A and B are shown apart, each in its own frame.
Chain A
């Protein structure tokens, strides 16, 4: 009978998602497996490289000055730990401060550029131009201008990490749906209200993606500054160790730098994820 099939079909269909607890558990197991795989594979690859490095340098009896095995680096890391921390501190605070200042300045300049057409037409081509020149080449100038103290490294770090924030923020402030701006106009919103309630929230994920780039640039800025002039900091320590042919210490210092860089980037990347979750228009 026809009605019977019609009635049966939805019933049959309704059977499929039965036992929701079981399928939810299966889904979470699948997610865990996926996460494990995404974590395990790269870790495994890195471990493999380290193992080959360890075995290779020992087997070929590569001189430690040329390339010490990872175990020697770890040894150095442990027994030079107080020294490494002493030098890590100035690098860390200067990177963080440079990053923070660059973020504030970058967002401010982008706001200015997006607020006024005339300012934008005047400044934006210059911003792009500065973005294009190899900024590292300008590092010695900062020493000339700011002397040998931390100011030179801090200001250079700001200079290097500032541009990605400006450009990303400006893209975010500009990329607002035209209809939303029309709505604001229709509601008689002031420019400031439009900025605060629409443009800025919309720009949040963009700002954080710019900050993510800035976080790595800020560290590069400080290290380059330390290479040029400094008596403290991981950059200085690396240069010093290389003069002493202490390759294991160089690699130990770089390891500390990596851990800091990763943690820094990771925190900003987490913030970015959160802003996308909070301000984006689709769930991740």
Chain B
């Protein structure tokens, strides 16, 4: 992936020009909350090296909710894992608040595609799992766990076991678990991809409602353009490998965000523009693969 200052300049009028994010400033590492500097990841596999992420340059401000859009296999998960310290960086650096990322940190929150709950623990205990694991005082976080569960509509289900919950409800528990230790950075890797459309809309709304009051920096990977735009303050579009970022948009929608924002012409115009960018990315990648 290459985040370069070079914007893709579509011929003719560019409806997104007004929202286009300024190019990352190379010396801005200390000002940004999160900075990637030439971060690169190469997996060594039996069949040869796979360059999952190539030279990522990126600055993200504190409190920004950033959606990352891109086709499967373009390195989104790898990028997230590197930021989260779950994968090492082959080359380059990742900085958070002036410190280089060397491993997972206690002030990160993660949500994966699967809820990955502990089946033998109650919903409440699952939410408190990070607290126990990180040896924080449980008593200090119990009230927050109850509050989070109430807010995502699981107030009645605190004592239930995960297997008694639907897929959407389980992912809500995972959401609460990701937020319980009051993380500075939320890393969400296609958290709603496995859900049906109705649960997914539900989850999007729950997340947006949470973000009305939680101003956390977040990286949110998704395949859904509308989801990306509805949730985020900023959207990055990645192309297939060898991937690079072809669009970096700052969205004009305020918070607290209303559901009806999705019905505005502006929202739909942005979505259409993003779709064009993604298709253009496919077009760009096609000659290399198709021969």
Chain A CB within 8 A of B70 CB: no
CB atoms of A179 and B116 under 8 A apart? yes
Determine the distance from Cα of A201 to Cα of B121 in the docked complex, in whole angstroms: 10
- Which of A25-33, A135-143, A211-219, A273-281 is the interface stretch? A273-281
CB atoms of A180 and B116 under 8 A apart? yes
Determine the distance from Cα of A184 to Cα of B105 in the docked complex, in whole angstroms: 12
Contact pick for A179, options B84, B112, B129, B134, CB 8 Å:
B112
CB atoms of B163 and A188 under 8 A apart? no
Residues of A near B119 (CB, < 8 A) are 279-281
Residue interface bits B75-110, CB-to-A below 8 A is 1, else 0: 000000000101000000000000000011110101
Contact pick for A281, options B110, B132, B162, CB 8 Å:
B162
Determine the distance from Cα of A185 to Cα of B114 in the docked complex, in whole angstroms: 16
Chain A CB within 8 A of B264 CB: no
How many chain A residues touch B (CB < 8 A): the figure is 21
CB atoms of A184 and B133 under 8 A apart? yes
Main SS of the interface on chain B? Answer: loop
Chain A CB within 8 A of B118 CB: yes
Residues of B near A132 (CB, < 8 A) are none
Known pairs A182-B112, A283-B163; A189 contacts B133 (CB<8 A)? yes
Determine the distance from Cα of A179 to Cα of B117 in the docked complex, in whole angstroms: 10
Determine the distance from Cα of A278 to Cα of B104 in the docked complex, in whole angstroms: 31
The residue of chain B having its C-beta at the shortest distance from the C-beta of A181 within the complex is B116
Residue interface bits B110-145, CB-to-A below 8 A is 1, else 0: 101010101110000000011011100000000000
CB atoms of B104 and A186 under 8 A apart? yes
Determine the distance from Cα of A152 to Cα of B176 in the docked complex, in whole angstroms: 56
26 contacts between A and B (CB under 8 A): A177-B114, A177-B116, A179-B114, A180-B118, A182-B86, A182-B112, A182-B116, A183-B110, A184-B133, A185-B104, A186-B84, A186-B104, A186-B108, A187-B130, A187-B133, A187-B134, A188-B104, A188-B105, A188-B134, A189-B133, A197-B118, A197-B129, A197-B132, A280-B119, A281-B162, A283-B163
- B interface residues (Cβ-Cβ under 8 A, vs A): 84, 86, 103-106, 108, 110, 112, 114, 116, 118-120, 129-130, 132-134, 162-163
